[in-house]
Amino acid sequence: MTRKIVKHIAVLFLGMFVFANSLFADMYTFEDINFVMDIPEGFEISDGTENSLFFENKLMPVKFALKFYPEETYKNPKVMIEDVISQLSAKGGIEEVNWFGRECYLSTFQFVLPDQNLYAGWAFSIQVPLKDNPSKKQNILMLTYADAQISRDCDQYMLSIIDSIFFCQEDFRRPGPVTTFAFPKTENAEIVLNIGGKTIISNLEADAIERSKFVLEREYDVLKIYGNHEKWKEAWQRYYRQLFRESYNAFDDIARDVYKELLPSAQKANFKAPHMEMIQMLLDWVQDMEYERDRAHADFTVPVAAIQGFGCDCDSRSMLMCIMLEHFGIPTELFISREYSHAVFGAAVNQNGAAIEANGINYVLGETTAQVNFGLIAQEHSDTSKWIEVDLP
């Protein structure tokens, strides 16, 4: 059987067709299974067979392999990962991961390749539904590894690869399997917000900030690798996608409670378009947050920290606006600019004002650090060619 995958570059390789209809630089979509990978930039398929794909990256000394097995070969992902680890004569532990109800397994391992070098890395196993028959499953094993002498230095990169997978849009808006394993669900803690003159009591997982920082530090380590690379732009887009992905579901309860409290006031102020009133109330809220930058580290305050009073900057606030508005059902886009050293958000609404078109959609812009109304940005930031759009699936 030939496996078709979708990538942004048109290539014909070993019978596996790769077509130019992906929105993101190195996001791979498989034609026959519900499985998507938003892996770091620069990987190229170096080899492939009917049941395997092998990737290499000239920028990093990391190898990455995907292996595919029918349901009949392995009854579950645990048997699969145990057998493959055994076949490699590898040493390492295996841990079960409950990834939103899916049975998965994660392993650290060491093994010797025919070149007699010792390699170390990570393995991940999961069963994936077929697109044309979801009741049938395909076993997938991910292996990512590097020379054992440098593998510790590559851990963040390898874990980012595994954590990049998702099945559907709902998956994209919640943490990946590595993050879920590292931070299993905890009890909620009460949080009090003051928005639009309303005191809103909601809740947030007790370790939400720690979890977000775990992903932030990992993805910032990955981003730094691309500082002078030709794909720096794509690396920045992926970086913000990963931060959005981790943060989004942490706001499920908060967005619901905020919406419920603000809607009556918004309807009273603007019955025909209450969503416009709610955008402005949220924007007033984030504009009043304490401004702070931490240039010594990732220079980003995770949104779950920003709403709890930790100082934040334009990209943190703009992402927070995107998260809240997406929960409200309003499509958004994050815009970043290296030239301006700034970030804004865009909302797909019918209103006059500064706007940028992306993917055929007009996004009205919101400035989160100056006290201005929605749809207004500084004149010196008006050159749309200097803004990079970050799509949020």
Q: Which two tokens stand for residue 120?
A: 């170390």
Which tokens is 312 given? 């934040």
- Lowest mean pLDDT of 16-25, 103-112, 259-268, 355-364, name the range: 16-25
Model confidence at 5: pLDDT above 60 = no
The residue to which tokens 């930039």 are assigned: 41
- Name residue, tokens 């706001």: 251
What is the model's pLDDT at position 49?
85
- pLDDT score, position 26: 58
Phi, psi of 156, deg, nearest 5: -60, -40
Q: What is the CA radius of gyration of the chain?
A: 22
pLDDT at 201 over 70: yes
Cβ atoms of 175 and 215 within 8 Å: the answer is yes
211 Cβ contact partners less than 8 Å away, ≥ 6 residues apart: 175, 179, 182, 183, 205, 246, 250
Nearest to 257 by CA among 338, 320, 195: 195
Rounded Cα–Cα distance for residues 238 and 241 (Å): 5
Per-residue pLDDT, averaged over 295-311, amounts to 89
Q: Is 114 helix (H, G, I), strand (E, B) or coil?
A: coil
Q: Read off the pTM.
A: 0.92
Residue 79, pLDDT score: 96
Q: Which residue has the higher pLDDT, 5 or 122?
A: 122
pLDDT value, residue 13: 29
Give the pLDDT confidence of 218-258 residue by residue, as tens digits.
999 999 999 999 999 999 999 999 999 999 999 999 999 99
Domains, in order of start, for the chain: 5-181 (3.40.1000.10), 188-390 (3.10.620)
Say yes or no to pLDDT of 22 above 60: no
The C-alpha angle 180, 184, 189, rounded to 5 degrees, equals 120
Q: Is the pLDDT of residue 95 over 70?
A: yes
Q: How far is residue 349's CA from residue 296's CA, in Å, rounded to a whole number?
A: 37
- Rounded mean pLDDT of the chain? 91
Q: Is the confidence at residue 295, as pLDDT, over 50? A: yes
- In the chain, what are the helix, strand and coil shares in percent, each to the nearest 5? 30, 30, 35
As a whole number, mean pLDDT of residues 133-156 equals 95
The pLDDT of residue 281 is 97
* Pairing of β 5-7 and β 16-20: parallel
Segment holding 253, helix H or strand E: helix 252-269
Q: How many CB atoms lie within 10 A of CB 211?
A: 22
- The DSSP secondary structure of 78-101, one letter per residue, reads HHHHHHHHHHTT-B--EEEEEETT
Q: Which amino acid is residue 15, in one-letter code?
A: G
19 pLDDT higher than 50: no
Average pLDDT over residues 259-285: 96
Q: Which of 27-36, 65-74, 105-114, 222-231 is predicted with the least confidence, judged by mean pLDDT? A: 27-36
Give the least confident one: 27-41, 255-269, 287-301.
287-301
